[in-house]
């Protein structure tokens, strides 16, 4: 089961025809499954660099949909990092020397 996201303020942004809440959540679910953000956008028919435009839209504050979308993507990304961190921790605890070395090299 995936992460619980906050409900969207609307089904779609005020001035965009190709984005809707369903597509945003599909992007988020892909990110949760450890797909890169850009690839997750592309799977839904958007440019890989769409997130920066969405962030700019969110920063204007004109449409709460964009802030919601960016928040959901941040939540999904945090979940993917949590999964990877947990997997690395499990391998370290199991004594995997490559995982230990990987961790220690990046720790500093």
Reading the block at residue 68, the tokens are 């919601």
Residues lower than pLDDT 50 in the chain: none
pLDDT at 1: 62
| pTM for the structure as a whole | 0.88
Tens of pLDDT, residue by residue over 25-56, are: 999 999 999 999 999 999 999 999 999 999 99
HEC letters along 24-70: HHHHHHHHHCCCCHHHHHHHCCCCCCHHHHHHHHHHHCCCHHHHHHH
Q: Which of 80, 105, 100 is nearest to 89 (CA)?
A: 100
């Amino acid at each position: 089961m995936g992460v619980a996201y906050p409900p969207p303020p609307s089904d779609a942004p005020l001035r965009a025809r190709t984005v809707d809440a369903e597509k945003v959540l599909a992007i988020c679910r892909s990110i949760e499954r450890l797909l890169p953000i850009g690839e997750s956008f592309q799977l839904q028919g958007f440019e890989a660099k769409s997130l920066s435009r969405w962030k700019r839209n969110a920063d204007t504050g004109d449409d709460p949909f964009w802030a919601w979308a960016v928040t959901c993507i941040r939540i999904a990304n945090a979940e993917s990092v949590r999964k990877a961190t947990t997997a690395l921790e499990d391998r370290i605890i199991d004594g995997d020397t490559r995982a230990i070395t990987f961790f220690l090299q990046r720790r500093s």
